[in-house]
Structure 1
Amino acid sequence: MAVSMEEAVKVVPSPRQLAWQQMEFYAFIHFGMNTFTGRQWGLGDEDPQLFNPTEFDAAQWVEVCQSAGMTGIILTSKHHDGFCLWPSAYTDHSVRNSSWQDGQGDVVRDLAEACRAQGMKFGVYVSPWDRHEPSYGDSPVYNAYFQNQLRELLTQYGEIFCVWFDGACGEGSNGKRQVYDWEAVYSIIRELQPNAVINICGPDVRWCGNEAGHTRESEWSVVPAYLQDTEKIHADSQQADDPAFAQRINTEVDDLGSRTILAQVDSVIWYPSEVDVSIRPQWFYDPTEDDKVKTVEELVNLYESTVGGNSALLLNLPPDKRGLIHETDVRHLRELGYWLRGTYGTDQAAGAYVKASQTMDSDVDAHYVTDGRSDTYWCPPEGTERAELELDLGKVMTWDRIVLKEYIQSGQRIERFQLAYKEGEEWKPLYEGTVVGYKKICRVPRITARYIRLAITESRVNPTLNHFGVYDTGG
């Protein structure tokens, strides 16, 4: 029982997984009944009249997300309390029975339209657990109910980029637990939204394993197939409303895809990581946390460690009772976006000359790593597992970030690398890293130099590189 290196690199992302990975950074919006009750997990017995945002503005949410550099929004269309932010035909526990907009409102519609108007992608979170619905725990009946609601969301609101299921799975109001029909759910999504990724309790994107923003030193996208087991996801996920859960870091599973792991399993899949974390300590808005919003520095660190660590970043922004993202959150997000554009908006290595340690075929030459395209890449000859690239910036420049990207359409290959810069005639060591994957952001001391060397010291087969970028934070 073992997976060979050659077998591992043949595992590649699907088109929908690749499109999702390229989004990099997008928003979670936790908004609903809990916003108005002060709870994080509602019980399902709330009066729909409590839901009444006074200044609801979906366009504000979208504009704020765009200002931060995000590419999409996932809305909690139904949380564990079962309250639906759209007028579902299958329950009375929805906006239809609230006083908001005289029962004519539809948060899902308004946000989907606002996203389309501003060029953002739209996705939905739908809680499988429903503490309001009486049929929950009567598995065949509830499964039909849940699937009907899912069909509403997937047919009435245009293109959906993601359907997000968490693993919270407790008892219903009748004291019973539900057995979900995941295969039927996946089939419905594939039928109605074939381009949508199914995240966490799903086959396309896996949970990073914590809600604290912790990332692995080596984040593999090619991992054992058993990680797709939804029952295991349920076992590891939150089972009670415990604020400490969001800050818990599980370090027992830091290695998901090394050669050691491959030697122990008989099948692997492309199952990339998503990091979900809130800009505040909790997921739904709480006015006592207005002074606990993550700082711009914390958000930058989070972005660079997640997006720059072969994961995607799903950052939660909880609107308040007005139906607006709070001013403090807005300010920090705008400053984050300003910083990201200032740092990563200009690649000092764009078009730079690159020399490789091996002779390349013309269609896989070294200059492809600085041509700014996503469909070209460098790859040394077959059988080459150690290789070097020397980058010439053309003149002395000052920089403190290096970004590497593999051509993941040909699998994940690089296992270890080193960076160095040239001072006079001497090469000075700069950085040592492990996996690259879709994107690796290397934070280095601020250096003034013209030449940079990348040495790939371990690779599963001959490595690929799509991008070798050099950036400056401005000090």
Structure 2
Amino acid sequence: MGAAGAAVAASALPVVPGLDALSRAAAATPQDKLSKLADLRFGMFNHFNLGTFTDEEWAAPHQDPALFAPTAVDCAQWAAAAAAAKMSYGVLTTKHHDGFALWPTAYDTQNVTHSGYPHDIVDQYVTAFRAKGLKIGLYFSIWDRTHTVEAYDTRHGVGTKEAIQPADLTLILGQITELLTNYGTIDMFVTDGYAWQMGQQAVSYQRIREHVLSLQPDIVMIDHGALSVPFLGDAIYFEEPLGVTSPAGNTYASLQGQTISDGWFWHPSTPTTDPMSKASILSHLADLEPKYTSFILNCPPNRDGRLDTNIVTRLAEVGAAWSPNTSRAALPTQPLRVEHPVNAVNAYATAFHTGEGPLNAIDGLSDKGFETCWSTWSLALPQSITIDLGGVWSGVSCLEYLPKQWNRNNSTDGDITSCTISTSTDGTTFTQVATPTWNGDRTLKFAEWTARDVGYVRIKVNTATGDYANIGNLRIGGRTTTPALRSRVLPGDSTVYRLTARHSGKSADVSGAGTANGTAVLQWPWKNTANQKWTFAGTGDGYFEIRGAGSGKLLEIGGLSRAEAAAAGIWSDDDVPQQHWAVTPTGDGYYLLTNRFSGLALDVTDGSTADGAKLDQQTYTGATRQQWQIIAL
């Protein structure tokens, strides 16, 4: 991927076919973009990919691309059926979770070029739908099981424990670049397999969002994390088959997805199964239109590459009976958002319920029935959570707070109703900047203050429904300007440090002054030797690589382990998350060292004070065995 990967690193705005200079220079306001989305009202989703030919809703990874072999792809027929139904847009599954691409991507052979139909279907799709005056949306699964851009999904028993590697981000950004530069104006970009597989700590939401908007400034971003309020993207997506639907009185610009047939992908039973009834489709449209929720109806093409007759007929029946309500009031003013988020690297709290620690507030993991959160359930308020932004950033002015959406007993308990927000540049001295009060109604919350330099944000929860706090997700950053990194918590490469455990006063030491991969890191009395000296180099996104001065190798937790008590050692520099550490001050001269991959803190095994005790990782509890003095030498 080397040459292709290098190409995506360029930050200059490329010339996109179909976009003139004026439209590239002056992006629409968020309100304008969401108003246009709400006015689309009715659209077609087309799940057409490898699963069409394997009779799978989620096609297995690493399958032979030759299995994809349509005989008569007819995107013009799909577009004509959409137009007949009075739809206004279409969304194509350019790549689903298995990783097969419907365009000739330069990144590997898992694409149409090497299939039984070696033609660019994305190009055919956008051409056909534009010819009918329809807007264009492209669906792109960030979760990619062939290329191991994934994490283990405990609910469905699929995936691996792979860490997201630098090459994975190269693939993601590179394929997005192809989709958003080769096919003219794209109105909607839909991501999936992200919020519920890896979250924004593993794959930076900020990095992807900024890249997408640099290519197509007026595009609307949507993610399929099926919560009733978004924390990723611009608009809400309600996934009806999961039981998530637009609520009464909804005024958020949104989409609600449903499938007309017996699955998202075509199955052998599809042509003989009665599609969703005309009455039901019309009922959906009548219900969703006043809620500013566009109904996106999935219509899966068959193995020839055409929509089955029963689907085409049903769409024509709907179009003959429905017209948009042009008298509907304009979209209400949409809530303010953190338009330019900073990727938080760490979080700690005064208290938390077992298994619901503070890192869950920033991990970006969320879906129906699967949502992480920081919770103080059973612990009385007030309680505080502190977010580390991985450095001091200028222009930080706001935060979004998402209450937990799927609460115990489906109640609203845990919604913060009043809090105090303070910021700091050093993690020690905090200044109060806002005291918001909110309704306990599970909706997205927003707080804003005068833009300032910020490295740490502390939220002291004063009151909440049920007298405990839940935070499903936080985003912190700027609303109108992009924050700029001003400084990091530690100086960079040239300074040498000693790491001393607070509880024992002993130093992190590479066992036997070893240099081999996997050599253990222990604690030992200070000897001023090279194997006890370390340098810190920033990763560029808020974390540090901690390098042994004697070995030249990096401190890591071996074996891609997220387990409690997994041992620390040294390893060659592979620029992977298990070698990245958040360095967060405790406020009294010590630091927490939190592993990026596991979210666990560097710790001395069992709190031992003995010479030679091994370093490992544990959930942070505030114990002195997990606090480190970082002394410049």
Report TM bin, short chain.
0.5 to 0.7
Task: Indicate whether 1:130 and 2:144 are aligned.
Answer: yes
Question: Which of these residues, 145, 153, 168, is aligned with residue 171 of structure 2?
Answer: 145
* CA 135–186 in structure 1, closer or farther in 2 if over 3 Å, else same: closer
Contact preservation (8 Å) 1:32, 1:85: yes
Task: Indicate whether 1:109 and 2:132 are aligned.
Answer: no
Over residues 58-96 of structure 1, what are the superposed CA-to-partner deviations in whole Å (9 max), with x where a residue is unaligned? 100100000001111110000000000000000110001
Alpha-carbon distance between aligned partners in 2 of 1:43 and 1:106, rounded to the nearest angstrom: 22
Contact preservation (8 Å) 2:239, 2:258: no
SS in 2 for 1:53: coil
Alpha-carbon distance between aligned partners in 1 of 2:265 and 2:314, rounded to the nearest angstrom: 18
Deviation at 1:145, TM superposition (A): 1.0
Q: Letter of the aligned partner of 1:205 in structure 2? A: A
Whichever structure has more helix as a proportion of its residues is: 1
Alpha-carbon distance between aligned partners in 1 of 2:332 and 2:283, rounded to the nearest angstrom: 28
| Alignment of structure 1 residues 261-272 onto 2, 5 Å | 272=253
* CA 155–58 in structure 1, closer or farther in 2 if over 3 Å, else same: same
Question: Which of these residues, 208, 212, 220, is aligned with residue 238 of structure 2?
Answer: 208
Correspondence for 1:351:
none
SS in 2 for 1:277: strand
Deviation at 1:43, TM superposition (A): 1.7
Correspondence for 1:46:
63
Deviation at 1:407, TM superposition (A): 3.4
Contact preservation (8 Å) 2:239, 2:257: no
Deviation at 1:30, TM superposition (A): 0.3
SS in 2 for 1:303: helix
Contact preservation (8 Å) 2:260, 2:298: yes
**TM-score under structure 1 normalisation?**
0.56
Task: Indicate whether 1:154 and 2:168 are aligned.
Answer: no
Contact preservation (8 Å) 2:73, 2:305: yes
Alpha-carbon distance between aligned partners in 1 of 2:333 and 2:121, rounded to the nearest angstrom: 40
SS in 2 for 1:36: helix
Contact preservation (8 Å) 2:250, 2:292: yes
* CA 26–99 in structure 1, closer or farther in 2 if over 3 Å, else same: same
Q: Letter of the aligned partner of 1:180 in structure 2? A: V
Contact preservation (8 Å) 2:51, 2:265: yes
* CA 135–81 in structure 1, closer or farther in 2 if over 3 Å, else same: closer
Question: Which of these residues, 319, 335, 355, is aligned with residue 301 of structure 2?
Answer: 319
Correspondence for 1:415:
none
* CA 302–409 in structure 1, closer or farther in 2 if over 3 Å, else same: closer
Alpha-carbon distance between aligned partners in 2 of 1:129 and 1:193, rounded to the nearest angstrom: 22
Deviation at 1:406, TM superposition (A): 2.9
Correspondence for 1:36:
53
Contact preservation (8 Å) 2:97, 2:141: yes
Question: Which of these residues, 408, 414, 433, is aligned with residue 331 of structure 2?
Answer: 408
Over residues 36-71 of structure 1, what are the superposed CA-to-partner deviations in whole Å (9 max), with x where a residue is unaligned? 000000121211111111111010010000000111
Contact preservation (8 Å) 2:285, 2:295: yes
User: Structure 1: which 5+ runs fail to align?
Assistant: 1-11, 222-271, 346-371, 373-403, 413-475
SS in 2 for 1:287: coil
SS in 2 for 1:63: helix
Q: Letter of the aligned partner of 2:104 in structure 1? A: P
Alpha-carbon distance between aligned partners in 1 of 2:244 and 2:268, rounded to the nearest angstrom: 22
Q: Letter of the aligned partner of 2:140 in structure 1? A: V
Question: Which of these residues, 279, 290, 309, is aligned with residue 297 of structure 1?
Answer: 279
Contact preservation (8 Å) 2:221, 2:234: yes
Deviation at 1:305, TM superposition (A): 1.2
Q: Letter of the aligned partner of 2:247 in structure 1? A: R
Identity, % of aligned pairs? 28
Over residues 338-392 of structure 1, what are the superposed CA-to-partner deviations in whole Å (9 max), with x where a residue is unaligned? 0014xx68xxxxxxxxxxxxxxxxxxxxxxxxxx7xxxxxxxxxxxxxxxxxxxx
Q: Letter of the aligned partner of 1:297 in structure 2? A: A
Task: Indicate whether 1:284 and 2:261 are aligned.
Answer: no
| Alignment of structure 1 residues 51-450 onto 2, 5 Å | 51-100=68-117, 103=118, 105-134=119-148, 137-167=163-193, 179-200=202-223, 202-208=232-238, 210-211=240-241, 214-221=245-252, 272-289=253-270, 290-341=272-323, 405-408=328-331
* CA 292–139 in structure 1, closer or farther in 2 if over 3 Å, else same: farther
**Which protein shows a greater Rg?**
2
Deviation at 1:190, TM superposition (A): 0.8
Alpha-carbon distance between aligned partners in 2 of 1:178 and 1:83, rounded to the nearest angstrom: 25
Deviation at 1:144, TM superposition (A): 1.5
SS in 1 for 2:52: helix
Contact preservation (8 Å) 1:139, 1:180: no
Alpha-carbon distance between aligned partners in 1 of 2:189 and 2:286, rounded to the nearest angstrom: 25
Deviation at 1:195, TM superposition (A): 1.1
Alpha-carbon distance between aligned partners in 1 of 2:333 and 2:98, rounded to the nearest angstrom: 43
RMSD of aligned alpha carbons: 2.5
Q: Letter of the aligned partner of 2:266 in structure 1? A: Y
User: Structure 2: which 5+ runs fail to align?
Assistant: 1-28, 151-162, 225-231, 336-633
Q: Letter of the aligned partner of 1:294 in structure 2? A: M
Q: Letter of the aligned partner of 2:268 in structure 1? A: P
Q: Letter of the aligned partner of 1:118 in structure 2? A: K
Alpha-carbon distance between aligned partners in 2 of 1:76 and 1:149, rounded to the nearest angstrom: 13
Correspondence for 1:448:
none
SS in 2 for 1:307: helix
Over residues 259-295 of structure 1, what are the superposed CA-to-partner deviations in whole Å (9 max), with x where a residue is unaligned? xxxxxxxxxxxxx221011111310011223314101
Deviation at 1:185, TM superposition (A): 0.8
Whichever structure has more strand as a proportion of its residues is: 2
Q: Letter of the aligned partner of 2:69 in structure 1? A: N
SS in 2 for 1:308: helix
Q: Letter of the aligned partner of 1:405 in structure 2? A: R
Contact preservation (8 Å) 2:42, 2:294: yes
SS in 2 for 1:220: coil
Contact preservation (8 Å) 1:320, 1:326: yes
Deviation at 1:112, TM superposition (A): 0.8
SS in 1 for 2:83: helix
Alpha-carbon distance between aligned partners in 1 of 2:133 and 2:330, rounded to the nearest angstrom: 26
Contact preservation (8 Å) 2:44, 2:299: yes
Contact preservation (8 Å) 1:27, 1:72: yes
* CA 169–82 in structure 1, closer or farther in 2 if over 3 Å, else same: farther
Alpha-carbon distance between aligned partners in 2 of 1:171 and 1:209, rounded to the nearest angstrom: 16
Deviation at 1:312, TM superposition (A): 1.2
Contact preservation (8 Å) 2:97, 2:193: no
